[in-house]
C-alpha cells in the first residue's frame, strides 16, 4: 500500500494580510514573527488522510504599541490536497492575544485510515469503488483492521477475494473464515457457484472457525439456511500451526454422535478435504440465530483412532451451546 505522508503543523504556512500594509508571511511553531504580529499554530500532532475536519488554533499576539487589523488565511503545504477554512479577520489592540479557530480537511472522506497510539490501525472504505490497501482489496462498506496482541498480530476484515466478498479474522490462537454465499442477492455479495475461496491454508466456500486443540485441528462450521452443506480443504504446510498430518476425520455432533472416515487427499499437494452435511435450520433464520450453539458441528482432523470422538465420548462432556463465533 502506498501511504501518503502525514501532514504535521510544521508543514503549515500562515499568511496574515495587513489591511494597511503589504502582506507578511509567518511559518509554523514554535513561534514566528510577522512584523508586529507573533504567530503560533496549535493543533493535532498529525493530520491523517481521513477526510474528517480537524481543528487548528492560530494564536496571534500584537507586540506593537498600536492597534493591528488584518486577515488570516491558512495554507497547508503537503502532498495531498488539504482544504483549510477560508480567511478569518482579526483586530488586536496593543499587547493583546487572540486565538482564531480553523479546521483542515484532507484526503477522501470515503476512504479513512485511523491509527491509535497502541499500534492499532483500521482502514474503512465508504466509497462506491474498491480500495486497494496493500495486497488487500476493500469493497464498498468494507474494512481491514490490524492490532498487536500478546501472541502476535490480530487481522480481521471484510474484503474481496477472487472477486467474492468474504470475511476473515486471524490470530495466533485461531482463525475464522467465511466464503459462503450471502443472503443478499446482489452480485457484489454473492458466491452462487459456490466458488472455493483460498484464505491461505484453508480453502472453502463455507464458513468456520479453526483452532488447534489437544494436538488436533478443531473446525466448527457455521450453521445457516444458506449453507446446509459444508466442505473445506486444508493445505497443511500453509497453516500457521505446526501439526502432524491427519490420519482420519471425526465429525462430532453435540448429541454425542460421531461420523468418522479417512480424509480425501489430493495426491502430492498435502491438501486434505472433507464434506459435512449440516441439517437445515428450523422455522427460519431467527430460530437459527437463537439455536446457533445447539446446532453446532465440529470437524476434527487428528490422530485419534477411527470411530472415537475427537474431544468427548458422551453428551455430558460436550460444550454447551457455545456460539460458533465465541471469540
DSSP string, 14-39: EEEEETTS----EE-SS-EEETTEEE
Q: Residue 245 is placed in which grid cell? A: 498430518
For 315, residues 6+ apart whose C-beta sits below 8 A from its C-beta are: 254, 255, 256
pLDDT at 154: 92
Distance CA 39, CA 231 (A): 66
pLDDT at 17: 39
* DSSP element (H, E) containing 217: strand 216-221
pLDDT at 142: 92
* Stated pTM of the model: 0.52
Tell me the helices (H) and strands (E) count for the chain, helix number first: 1, 27
Residues of the chain with pLDDT under 50: 1-29, 47, 78-80, 225, 267-297, 304-327
pLDDT at 286: 25
pLDDT at 164: 86
C-alpha dist (Å) from residue 9 to 35, 54, 216, 257? 21, 12, 54, 66
pLDDT at 241: 82
For 206, residues 6+ apart whose C-beta sits below 8 A from its C-beta are: 178, 179, 180, 194, 221, 222, 227, 229, 230, 231, 232
For 43, residues 6+ apart whose C-beta sits below 8 A from its C-beta are: 9, 54, 55, 56, 57, 104
pLDDT at 185: 52
Amino acid at each position: 500500500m502506498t501511504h501518503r505522508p502525514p501532514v504535521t503543523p510544521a508543514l503549515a504556512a500562515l499568511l496574515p494580510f495587513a489591511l494597511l500594509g503589504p502582506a507578511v508571511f509567518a511559518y509554523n511553531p514554535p513561534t514566528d514573527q510577522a512584523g508586529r504580529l507573533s504567530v503560533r499554530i496549535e493543533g493535532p500532532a498529525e493530520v491523517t488522510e481521513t477526510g474528517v475536519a480537524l481543528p487548528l488554533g492560530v494564536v496571534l499576539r500584537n507586540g506593537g504599541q498600536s492597534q493591528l487589523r488584518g486577515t488570516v488565511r491558512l495554507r497547508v503545504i503537503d502532498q495531498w490536497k488539504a482544504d483549510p477554512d477560508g480567511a478569518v479577520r482579526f483586530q488586536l489592540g496593543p499587547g493583546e492575544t487572540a486565538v482564531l479557530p480553523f479546521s483542515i480537511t484532507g484526503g477522501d472522506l470515503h476512504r479513512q485510515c485511523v491509527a491509535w497510539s497502541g499500534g492499532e490501525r483500521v482502514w474503512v472504505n465508504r466509497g462506491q469503488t474498491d480500495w486497494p490497501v496493500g495486497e488487500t482489496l476493500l469493497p464498498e462498506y468494507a474494512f481491514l483492521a490490524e492490532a498487536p496482541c500478546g501472541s502476535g498480530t490480530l487481522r480481521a476484515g471484510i474484503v474481496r477475494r477472487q472477486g467474492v466478498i468474504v470475511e476473515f479474522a486471524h490470530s495466533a490462537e485461531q482463525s475464522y473464515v467465511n466464503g459462503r454465499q450471502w443472503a443478499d442477492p446482489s452480485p457484489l455479495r454473492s458466491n452462487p457457484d459456490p466458488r472455493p475461496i483460498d484464505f491461505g491454508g484453508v480453502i472453502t466456500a463455507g464458513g468456520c472457525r479453526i483452532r488447534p486443540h489437544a494436538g488436533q485441528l478443531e473446525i466448527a462450521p457455521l450453521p445457516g439456511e444458506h449453507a446446509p452443506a459444508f466442505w473445506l480443504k486444508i493445505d497443511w504446510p500453509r497453516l500457521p500451526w505446526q501439526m502432524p498430518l491427519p490420519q482420519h476425520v471425526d465429525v462430532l455432533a453435540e448429541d454425542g454422535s460421531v461420523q468418522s472416515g479417512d480424509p480425501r487427499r489430493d495426491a502430492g499437494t498435502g491438501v486434505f478435504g472433507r464434506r459435512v452435511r449440516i441439517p437445515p435450520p428450523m422455522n427460519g433464520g431467527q430460530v437459527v440465530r437463537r439455536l446457533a450453539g445447539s446446532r453446532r458441528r465440529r470437524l476434527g482432523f487428528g490422530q485419534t483412532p477411527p470411530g472415537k470422538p475427537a474431544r468427548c465420548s458422551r453428551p455430558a462432556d460436550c460444550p454447551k451451546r457455545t456460539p460458533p463465533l465465541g471469540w
